[in-house]
Structure 1
Amino acid sequence: MNDHNNKENPRSHPNIQHNNGFAVPPKKTNSTLTTTARPSSVNSKATTSKVNNSIVEKVNNSEDEVVYPDHPRNDWTINDFEIGKPLGTGKFGRVYLAREKKSKFIVALKLLDKKQLEKEKVAHQLRREIEIQSHLRHKNILRLYGYFYDEKKVYLILEYAPGGEMYHFLQKCTRFSEEQTSKFMYQMARALKYCSAKHVIHRDIKPENLLLDGNGELKIADFGWAVHAPTSRRKTLCGTLDYLPPEMIEKKAHNATVDLWCIGVLCYEFLTGNPPFFAQDDKSTMRNIVAVRYSFPEYVGDEAKDLVRKLLVKEPSNRITLEQVLKHPFIITYNKNKDEM
């Protein structure tokens, strides 16, 4: 959940980052744990815990769905995991690299403090996040295998993304090539099309909420602001300022087209290293967004510009669809050998 969104640094969060720790073992092996100490902050004497969902389960093996080792369990406790290095820290807890003892399966284990969740009155938001993310099965969406809890903490069992956080990768590269941007946008569009079919709106797409797997493929993470909205229009102001669509700033009702706006902003940031509407203060940024006022550096190609312009449209109903994104020349040029969903 969005325990990372804070006023001090709205562009940073504790999602899984790249750290040296365990190597992800091949499936069905019995590799031993590396010499990574168990963090002292983790209580190994957990009380009786409850669980929803299994850490691993088999699903249909298609291009978009991933098969995981089949070790069903329904009684997880913290004692079932070997805990490795911390991967990040947030307002409500920490994320650790971990390995399930029997299956040797590597995961990211997110520990959330129950008192803090109750104090901030976000327990309902966490429940919604778990309910949504645990039912999503797509290779470009971070898996939530399950969760359990004891007297003090809630534990989320997440897929480990060894490539780290997209935001840090973008900072390291300064900006992405058009080919790399196109490939990431192709993966984003496919994943969001899958979400749309499940009536899920993410509402907080940004580089900080994207991770990379070991092959450099994108993973959408952090569904803290996501909603399941088959028909209704929403009015909640949520997300990150640089990525807010005009309808949210103007306090109008919104629907799934907010994610189209967000990937337009994302595409621009991938291409240039900066969000399109950035200004020296928040009010100026909001004015730029409402006016859809931005410009491209000279090095951005015409096809890339065209895709961004067709997504960053003030009137939500006039934004191109995800199907049209997948058929756009900027996407097709660099993804010719891949089929659409």
Structure 2
Amino acid sequence: MSELSKLEHRDSFDIPETELYPYYDPTPRQKGSYRLEDFIIQRTLGTGSFGRVHLVRSKHNLRFYAIKVLNKARIVKLKQVEHTNNEHGILELVQHPFIVNIWGAFQDCANLYMVMDFVPGGELFTLLRRSNRFPDPVAKFYAAEVALALNYLHTHGIIYRDLKPENILLNHDGHIKITDFGFAKSCRHTYTLCGTPDYIAPEILLQGRYGKGVDWYALGVLIFEMLYGLPPYHQPDNNTILLYERISRGPLHIQWPAGFGERAKDLIIHLMDVEPTKRYGNLHRGAQDIFAHSWFAEVDWDKMTKREFTAPYMPQITGEGDASAFECYPEDNASLTYGQAALDPFGYAFPGFEYRAPSAY
């Protein structure tokens, strides 16, 4: 979802992983067969170069969902077909309490539609900017939930590749939901240059082979940003050349703020190590080095996985369809163009999306 708001925010080894605290749900979600007329479109939650995200309500079960609408011609033009199909396929595969659910996907002549959870608390980015920075226990809570989600993805062979506060949503109970899997990939290693500049790991900049270590690097950046308010190498003038130079030099050159906790500092340094083979999460014990770090000493990981801790911030939600945590966007009558009959030269490119031609309505 937050992928569609990047203009408003920030543009975006052979050792087996130890399966720590794996999440298993014996009652997997039931994915349905949907079409556009099953929903009442309420408002826009986000916009971007490919389309927009709408808050919708089902005419059948009256539940609220978020529908991500992507224009097929724009996806093809910008060469994002693989990323789009990856996002859909991975969301179909995963199920975890800290990852947004997908309930179904379909297409018509012009657009793709992904029916997902509506997560009403808005972005962690918004809460962080409003707070300026988080106290240590608050940052630790969100970092722990993110670490559990990343470990789950890695044990299923998935690299996320776009961790940042904009892609972490807050549910009605204050717990997180990671969203926007447009850069995620099912593989052990890849070479693609992608991500958000402040969060890109050094090995991605070298355009060589990299793996899940880039996600653990991004976790280090996230912890720093939550505790300080800005990423460690942030350039206020958007000078990416200088930014990438500082990333390449590594965390030993970070200018640490006064009063920054030593335990948090130690974990960040180990997560952001320039050498992937020396980085926490990539060593022999895998994610255990992260979960067992002294900064997380008071965290009961089993209870954290089961969401038995009370979240530090409870979104002010007045009802199930309350979207007040999201920015207001001009509607521009965009939804009136959905489902119209037209030539469709690109339907073949998205085989995972059930085809719903206008004549089917």
- Structure 2 SS opposite 1:145: strand
Aligned equivalent of 1:122, options 76, 80, 89: 80
After the TM superposition, which of the residue ranges 267-276 and 247-256 deviates more from structure 2? 247-256
In 2, Cα distance between the equivalents of 1:223 and 1:173? 27
Aligned equivalent of 2:294, options 303, 326, 329: 329
Residue 73 (1) aligns with residue 32 (2): yes
Residue 86 (1) aligns with residue 44 (2): yes
Q: Is the 8 A contact 1:3 1:92 kept in 2?
A: no
Deviations 1:148-205 (A, max 9, x none): 1111211110111111011111111111110011111110111111101100000111
> Which runs of 5 or more residues in structure 2 are unaligned?
13-21, 282-286, 307-361
In 1, Cα distance between the equivalents of 2:27 and 2:192? 36
> Which runs of 5 or more residues in structure 1 are unaligned?
14-61
In 2, Cα distance between the equivalents of 1:66 and 1:82? 31
- 1:69 to 1:325, Cα distance in 2 relative to 1, 3 A: closer
- Structure 2 SS opposite 1:111: strand
Aligned equivalent of 1:147, options 105, 113, 117: 105
- 1:2 to 1:97, Cα distance in 2 relative to 1, 3 A: closer
- 1:251 to 1:226, Cα distance in 2 relative to 1, 3 A: same
Aligned equivalent of 1:311, options 271, 275, 289: 271
Q: Give the match for residue 221 of structure 2.
A: 265
With a CA cutoff of 8 Å and minimum separation of 6, indicate the structure with the bigger relative contact order. Answer: 2
Deviations 1:35-94 (A, max 9, x none): xxxxxxxxxxxxxxxxxxxxxxxxxxx966496875x633x1111011111111111111
Q: Give the match for residue 354 of structure 2.
A: none
Residue 132 (1) aligns with residue 131 (2): no
Deviations 1:293-324 (A, max 9, x none): 21221222111111111111011111112222
Where in structure 2 are the equivalents of 1:293-312 lying within 5 Å?
293-312=253-272
In 2, Cα distance between the equivalents of 1:260 and 1:316? 10
- 1:83 to 1:339, Cα distance in 2 relative to 1, 3 A: closer
In 2, Cα distance between the equivalents of 1:227 and 1:337? 27
Please identify runs of 4+ aligned residues in structure 1 that moved more than 3 A. Answer: 1-6, 62-70, 334-337
Q: Is the 8 A contact 2:221 2:231 kept in 1?
A: yes
After the TM superposition, which of the residue ranges 259-268 and 104-113 deviates more from structure 2? 104-113
Coordinate RMSD, CA, aligned: 2.4
Q: Is the 8 A contact 1:140 1:187 kept in 2?
A: yes
Amino acid aligned to 2:289: Q
- 1:241 to 1:69, Cα distance in 2 relative to 1, 3 A: closer
Q: Is the 8 A contact 2:51 2:70 kept in 1?
A: yes
Amino acid aligned to 1:218: I
Q: Is the 8 A contact 1:142 1:158 kept in 2?
A: yes
- Structure 1 SS opposite 2:297: helix
- Structure 2 SS opposite 1:179: helix
Q: Give the match for residue 19 of structure 1.
A: none
- 1:140 to 1:236, Cα distance in 2 relative to 1, 3 A: same
Residue 255 (1) aligns with residue 214 (2): no
In 1, Cα distance between the equivalents of 2:65 and 2:249? 43
- Structure 1 SS opposite 2:303: coil
- Structure 1 SS opposite 2:93: coil
- Structure 1 SS opposite 2:96: coil
Q: Give the match for residue 20 of structure 1.
A: none
Where in structure 2 are the equivalents of 1:279-290 lying within 5 Å?
279=235, 280=237, 281-290=239-248
- 1:161 to 1:134, Cα distance in 2 relative to 1, 3 A: same
In 1, Cα distance between the equivalents of 2:60 and 2:156? 33
Where in structure 2 are the equivalents of 1:54-203 lying within 5 Å?
65=25, 73-74=32-33, 76-203=34-161
- 1:66 to 1:178, Cα distance in 2 relative to 1, 3 A: farther
Residue 277 (1) aligns with residue 233 (2): yes
Q: How far does residue 116 in structure 1 lie from its aligned partner after superposition?
A: 1.6
TM-score, normalised to structure 1, is 0.78
Q: How many residues align?
A: 288
Q: How far does residue 331 in structure 1 lie from its aligned partner after superposition?
A: 1.5
In 2, Cα distance between the equivalents of 1:266 and 1:108? 26
- 1:4 to 1:111, Cα distance in 2 relative to 1, 3 A: closer
